[in-house]
Amino acid sequence: MERPHAPDLPAETWAAVSPERRGSLTTVEYPVHHYIDASRQFVAARPVDPAEAGRAVIHGEPILKSCNVYLPAEYRDRPDRRYNVLYLLHGVGGDAFEWLRSNGMADGHYILCNMLDRLIAEGVIDPLIAVFPNGRSAHDWTDVSFNFAGTNLLGFYYFDYELRHDLIPFIESTFRTIADISDSSAEGKARSRLHRAIAGLSMGGMQTLNLVLGGYRCDAAGDADAKRVQGTGLAPTVPAPGMTDLFAYAGAFSCAPTTSEGRILGASLAASEHKLHLLYMNCGDRDEISLHPCRKAIEGLADAAGDRLGDFRHSLVPGGVHDFGVWNRGAYDFVRLAFRSRKDS
């Protein structure tokens, strides 16, 4: 059966463009110094307060991970140009290929890349780099099994450390990005965050909200743990500090059940120095997994965030369930809002 791309969008949205307008996709490896080890301890290459991490913090050897990187068609021929970066996070059973292989192909190419190619070719968005990471910051990051007690699942809740200290520095030192995390000046930080966006589906949507806006990390709960999230074997532990100093645009599509409530996310935003310029959320109105947590995450968020939240868009997709019909619609809307072409502005 053909996978749903996004039924309400024109079919050509997902069709391949002409060869000279197609971007390229590459898989790259990078060292990770911040991850969960086999004993559920947090390995860190820099000082991290155990109270902040919610567990023991130790030193250890780095692990090697890989991610996929989309480069726009002009990248090789425009060595003078630098680019915005979009990070797209996968779901609980996915990996760095979920947005690509699991999403399907058209005309022999991944439909997500076709969409980016087309939006760039038609001048709707500025050319960009897209990064597809594996969101498990754990020693067993290749394990895609669904196991509440597994370290691979715990690793989802510590991805912010990897993102900040390992992945973003690697991407911005390897590829020609406008954002430059090595520029620690106030002006450099303020400029860089305007050229980074992050979004995710399901578990990746939870990561975007809990780790970027600032919600709770989770860990395996005991059978009698009153705090456990309904329908899961997980319970909240400690709040994440947030990453709005790095990202000005965030998107969550069908966010997972462990997503923190809107009043918590909004309060974290209100306490931040940085305004989130765009928050986009969507969910299918028939999604039995994510509809309730999505509604709870929206409820009270804007009021609690105050002036630290800019454009807040949230929608229900009629007839939508927990699949790429909703997630592709989210990616399409989000990237156009975050990185619309500035040629005429």
**Tens digits of residue pLDDT in 24-77:** 999 999 999 999 999 999 999 999 999 999 999 999 999 999 999 999 999 999
Q: How far apart are CA 210 and CA 242, in angstroms?
A: 8
Question: Does the pLDDT at position 170 exceed 90?
Answer: yes
Q: Which tokens sit at 232?
A: 């899961």
For 150-172, give the secondary structure using H, E and C.
CHHHHHHHHHHHHHHHHHHHHHH
- Confirm whether 258 is domain-assigned: yes
344 — pLDDT class (breaks 50, 70, 90):
very low
Calculate mean pLDDT across residues 199-203.
Answer: 98
Give 91-107 pLDDT, tens digit per residue.
Answer: 999 999 999 999 999 99
Q: Domain range for residue 80?
A: 11-338
Q: What is the pLDDT of residue 311?
A: 98
Q: CA 232: distance to chain centroid?
A: 21
Question: Does the pLDDT at position 185 exceed 50?
Answer: yes
Q: Which tokens sit at 135?
A: 């969101």
- Confirm whether 1 is domain-assigned: no
Tell me what percent of the residues of the chain surpass a pLDDT of 70: 97
Q: What is the pLDDT of residue 7?
A: 78
225 — pLDDT class (breaks 50, 70, 90):
low
Strands (E) located in 116-233: 128-132, 196-201, 216-220
Q: What is the pLDDT of residue 343?
A: 59
Tokens 């310029």: give the residue.
277
Q: How far apart are CA 246 and CA 254, in angstroms?
A: 23
What are residue 259's phi and psi, to 5 degrees?
A: -65, 135
Burial 103-125 (b: 16+ CB within 10 A, else e): bbbbeebbbbbbbbbbbbbeeeb
> 3-class SS at 145?
coil
Beta bridge partners of 43: 35, 58
Give 252-311 pLDDT, tens digit per residue.
Answer: 999 999 999 999 999 999 999 999 999 999 999 999 999 999 999 999 999 999 999 999
What are residue 294's phi and psi, to 5 degrees?
A: -65, -45
Question: Does the pLDDT at position 226 exceed 80?
Answer: no
Q: What is the pLDDT of residue 1?
A: 36
Q: How far apart are CA 310 and CA 312, in angstroms?
A: 6
Residue 175 burial class via C-beta count within 10 angstroms: exposed 0-12, middle 13-18, buried 19 and up: middle
Sign of CA dihedral 337, 341, 342, 345: negative
Give 110-169 pLDDT, tens digit per residue.
Answer: 999 999 999 999 999 999 999 999 999 999 999 999 999 999 999 999 999 999 999 999
Q: What is the pLDDT of residue 345?
A: 40
- Confirm whether 113 is domain-assigned: yes
- Confirm whether 211 is domain-assigned: yes
- Confirm whether 105 is domain-assigned: yes
Task: Note the pTM of the prediction, 2 decimals.
Answer: 0.96
Beta bridge partners of 66: 29
Whether the CB-CB separation of 267 and 308 falls below 8 Å is answered with no
What's the domain count of the chain?
Answer: 1
Neighbours of 2 (CB within 10 A): 6
> 3-class SS at 288?
coil
- Confirm whether 5 is domain-assigned: no
Q: With CA atoms as reference, report the closest residue to 54 among 242, 268, 238.
A: 238
- The CATH number for 282's domain is 3.40.50.1820
Q: What is the pLDDT of residue 227?
A: 81
221 — pLDDT class (breaks 50, 70, 90):
confident
The 3-state DSSP composition of the chain as helix, strand, coil percent (nearest 5) reads: 30, 25, 45
> What is the H or E stretch that residue 139 is in?
none
- Confirm whether 345 is domain-assigned: no
- Confirm whether 236 is domain-assigned: yes
